[in-house]
Structure 1
Amino acid sequence: MDVSIVIPTKNGGSLFDKVLTMIDKQETDYEYEVICVDSGSTDNTIEIIKKHNCILKQIDKTEFGHGKTRNLGASLGTGEYIIFITQDALPYDTHWIQNFIDGMKIDPEIVGGFGIHYPYPDCNIFDKRDLTLLFKGYGLTNTIYQLEDKERYKNEEGYRHLLSFYSDNNSCMRRSIWEKYPYEDVNFAEDQIWAKKMIELGYKKLYCPFAGVYHSHNYPLETYKQRFYDEYKGLYMIHKYVMVKDIPHLFVGYYRFVKNDLKYVNSLNMSSLEKKQWRKYAIKKDWYRFYSAYQAGVYYRSSKDKQEKMDKKFSQQLRQINQ
C-alpha cells in the first residue's frame, strides 16, 4: 500500500460525507486506504463511514487523544506514507493525493509535509485574510524547510515558529519515520510538537501548495475565547512563547490589533452596514484573542489545581473530549 489516510471522527455530519466522497474521487497512481477512528459519534457518522470504502475503528470518547488516536489510526494501515486530515477538511481537487506524495518524494530527507488550507466560501473576512497570508508566506510552489541557522533558531521567535509550523488538518509523513517517532500523547498541538522535534533532529519538512483542502470555521464569537486559550497554551508548550505577559501588554496589544482590523474593514468594498457589522465583530474577537492569550500565560504560572479549574472554564479541547 502506498498511502494510508487517517481521519479521527466524532459527529462529522454532512460535510464529512463530502470529504469521503472527494477522497473516493481521487485521480492518482498511488494505491490508498482510508482509516477512520471514531470516538463516540452520536449522529450518522458511522453510517457515513460504512457507505464508503473505509477501515473503521471505534473507541470510547474517554480514550480519545489528539496524538494517541492518530497513532492508533496509523497503526491500522500499511501505507508507506500516512496522510492525516480532519473530518472537516475537504480535499480541494481530485489530485490532492497525487500532488502530496509527489511532493514528499522530491527529497528522501523530507519526513513530513503539510498542504495549503483554503477558506470555505462562508468563512469570516478576518480568518479568510489570515489563512491566505499565512500559507502565502510558506511559498507558491513545493518548498522544503530545514534548520540551517542554529543561532538564528535559538534567538529568533519567528524563525522557530516558521520551521515548526505543521498542521494535521492536512499533513503527510513517512511511515518509517512515524514508526520511529510517533506522535506524543498530548491534548493539543501534537502536530507542531512532532514537527519541531523533526526539525531539531535535522530532518526536512515540505510545504505543498498543490495538495490543498478547504478548512476554516465560522465559530460563534464566544467559542473563539476558548480556541485562543488552547492555541496560546499550545504555543507556550512548544516554544515557551507568551503573547501577553501582563495586563498592560493585554491592552496595548488589543488596541493595536483592533486598529489594524478596523483599517482592514474600511479598505474593503462593502456597504456601510456590512462594515459596521464587521467592526463590531473585530472588536469582540480581538478582545477574546488577547484576553485568552493573557489567561494562557497565567496558566503556566499557576498551581495544578488552578490549572484544572482554568481548563474547565476556558478550554475548547477539554469540552470536545468530554462531550
Structure 2
Amino acid sequence: MTVTVIVPTYKPDGKFFQLMNMLKRQTCKADHILIMNTEERYWKNSFMEGLDNWEVHHLSRAAFDHGKTRGEGAKLADTEILVYFTQDAVPADEKLLENLLKPFHNPQVGAAYARQLPAEDCKIIERYTRSFNYPDTSRIKTKKDIPELGIKTYFCSNVCAAYRRGVYEEMGGFVTRTIFNEDMIMAAQMIQAGYGVAYAAEARVVHSHNYGYMQQLRRNFDLAVSQEDHPEIFAAISSESEGIRLVKSTAAYLIKQGKPWLIPDLLLSSGFKYLGYKAGRNYKHLPLSWVHRLTMNPAYWENR
C-alpha cells in the first residue's frame, strides 16, 4: 500500500522534530510527507533534514480549519492510504506505520487509528484516561457495535489515524468547516455507510496533555459545538453516559492505587468538562462574547 503522511503544523517544536525523526526509522516508509503549515514565519526546513519526498504548504492562521486544511492535504496526495498526525504525536517505535496499515488488509476497513500512550510528565488521572480510551486490545468497529459501544463506535483520532483514500473520497472528504471532531465525523459517516473503523492497539504514539480546568472546559465546549452542528450523526447517541462511566472508573482506580485524595481534583476537572460540554451544546443561545471566552479556537468564530 502506498502512503502519504499529512501533518498540520503551527509553531512546530521539539516534538515535531521527534516525529520527523521517528518517520525516518519506520519499517514501513511513507511514500510522501505533506506538511500543512500555518504561518510561514514559524517554519524551518531543517525540521525535515534527512527525509526525502516531502513538501510544505503554507497558509495563514485565518485560513486554518481542522477539516478543510486536512482535506486540502488529501487533495495533494495520490496514494492509497492517507495517514494523519498532529505535530505533537511521537511514534513509540519503528513499527507504528506498519501496524497502523495492517487493518487495511480487510477490505471492509475504511479507517484505522492508533493507541495513544501517556508522556513521561503525564499526571495520574490523565494517564488513566489514556488507558481507558485507548486499551491494549485491537478491534474493528462497525454499525452493529453501536448498541454496545454507543458514541465510542464513532471514535477516531487524527492525532494518528489512517484512511483508505477511496473510501475517504466516497464520503466526500472531511467537512470543510468544523471547529473540531473532523475525524469522528468521518468515522461516523464510514460506519453508517457500512464500513469498519479499526482501532490498532499495536500502533502506538506518545501523546498526552496536562490540561488545567479552564482548558478542559474550552476543549469540551468545542467538542460539543461540533456535535451540535452535526445532529445527523450525534443526535441519536449520547456522550454523557460515557463521560459518567469514565469518572466512576477513574475514581475506582484512584482508590485502588491508594490515592483517594485525588478524587476531588477528578470531580472538579469532570465538572469543568461537563460545564463546557453543556455550554457547547447550547452555544446558539449564548452571546458571541461568551463564545469567544469559552472556545479554544477563536479564529473559527471570527471567520464564521
TM-score range, shorter chain: 0.7 to 0.9
Residue in 1 that maps onto 2:288: 308
Instruction: Determine if the alignment matches structure 1 residue 234 to structure 2 residue 220.
Output: no
Paired AA for residue 288 in structure 2: E
In structure 2, the CA distance between the partners of 1:40 and 1:296, relative to structure 1 (3 Å rule), is same
What is the aligned partner in structure 2 of residue 135 from structure 1?
Answer: 134
Deviation at 1:163, TM superposition (A): 2.1
Equivalent residue for 1:82? 82
Structure 2 counterpart of 1:239, one-letter code: F
In 2, Cα distance between equivalents of 1:307 and 1:75: 37
Residue 4 (structure 1) shift: 0.1
Q: In the alignment, is the contact (CA less than 8 A) between 1:9 and 1:41 conserved in 2? A: no
Residue 204 of structure 1 corresponds to: 196
Listed as ranges, the gaps of 5+ residues in structure 1 are 245-252
> Residue 118 of structure 1 contacts residue 212 of structure 1 at CA under 8 Å; is this kept in 2?
yes
Q: Would the alpha carbon gap of residues 109 and 99 (structure 1) be closer, same or farther in structure 2, given more than 3 Å must change?
A: same
Query: Which amino acid counterpart does residue 212 of structure 1 have in structure 2?
Result: R
TM-score calculated relative to the size of structure 2: 0.85
1:286 maps onto 2:270 in alignment:
yes
How far, CA to CA, are the matches of 1:110 and 1:171 in structure 2? Answer: 13
| Pair 258,79 (structure 1): closer, same or farther in 2 beyond 3 Å | closer
User: Are residues 261 and 94 of structure 1, via their aligned partners in 2, closer, same or farther at CA, if it must alter by over 3 Å?
Assistant: closer
Partner of 1:213: 205
Are 2:219 and 1:265 aligned? Answer: no
- Secondary structure of 2:194's counterpart equals coil
Equivalent residues of 1:7, 1:87 under 8 A apart: yes
Over 3 Å counting, the alpha-carbon distance change for 1:197 and 1:265 in structure 2 is same
User: Using the alignment, how far apart are the partners of 1:221 and 1:132 within structure 2?
Assistant: 21
Corresponding residue for 2:141? 145
User: Residues 60 and 19 of structure 1: is their aligned pair in 2 closer, same or farther, counting only changes over 3 Å?
Assistant: same
Contact 2:151–2:238, Cα closer than 8 Å, also in 1:
no
1:194 paired residue number:
186
Counting only pairs closer than 5 Å after superposition, residues 6-155 of structure 1 correspond to structure 2 as 6-28=6-28, 31-40=30-39, 43=42, 45-53=43-51, 54-105=54-105, 107-136=106-135, 140-141=137-138, 143-148=139-144, 153=146
CA distance in 2, matches of 1:26, 1:16: 16
Q: Check 1:68–1:26 CA distance in 2 against 1; reply closer, same or farther (3 A cut).
A: same
**8 Å contact kept, 2:216–2:272:** yes
- Cα RMSD after superposing both structures: 2.9
Structure 1 residues 262 and 202: alpha-carbon distance in aligned structure 2, compared to 1, 3 A threshold? closer
Length, aligned pairs only: 293
Structure 2 unaligned segments of length 5 or more: list them: none
- 3-state SS, counterpart of residue 148 of structure 1: helix
Q: Confirm or deny: 8 A CA contact 2:6 2:83 kept in the other structure.
A: yes
Amino acid in structure 2 at the alignment position of 1:182: G
CA distance in 1, matches of 2:204, 2:246: 29
> Residues 47-97 of structure 1: CA distance to partner in whole angstroms, max 9, x if unpaired?
444435331111111111111111111222222111011001111110111
Q: Does structure 2 conserve the Cα–Cα contact (< 8 Å) formed by 1:37 and 1:57?
A: yes
Asked whether the 8 Å contact 1:62–1:321 carries over to 2, the reply is no
Q: 2:150 touches 2:238 (CA, 8 Å); kept in 1? A: no
Q: What is the TM-score normalised by the length of structure 1?
A: 0.80
Q: Is the 2:154–2:184 Cα contact (8 Å) retained in structure 1?
A: yes
| Bigger radius of gyration among the two | 1
Q: How far has the Cα of 1:242 moved from its partner?
A: 6.3
